[in-house]
Amino acid sequence: MQNPTDERILETLNTGLELGPTTISKNIDKHRVTVSRRLDVLFQYGLVERPEEGYYEITDLGEQYLAGEIDAGELKPSDE
């Protein structure tokens, strides 16, 4: 799980805001469908969470990943 778009999504969410895919896509200049797909992957890996339908926020794990405290190779998708 190493994708440059993932880091841009996480950086955008690292503002402390809950954002939807459309808002994120406008901020990182990527198509909304691409952002939605990557958000699903980030959710599976526990880097983002969905506080409510259609909105995402970064998790503590996501912040640690951005800070370089966790390597992408150490991340495992959840079984859920």
Over residues 6-56, the pLDDT tens digits come to 999 999 999 999 999 999 999 999 999 999 999 999 999 999 999 999 999
Amino acid 20 reads G
Domains and CATH numbers, the chain: 4-67 (1.10.10.10)
pLDDT digits (tens, 9 = 90+) for 48-67: 999 999 999 999 999 999 99
- Tokens at residue 67, please? 């800070």
* pLDDT value for 1: 59
Helix (H) or strand (E) segment spanning residue 33? helix 32-44
pTM: 0.91
Round to whole Å and give the CA distance between 24 and 29. 8
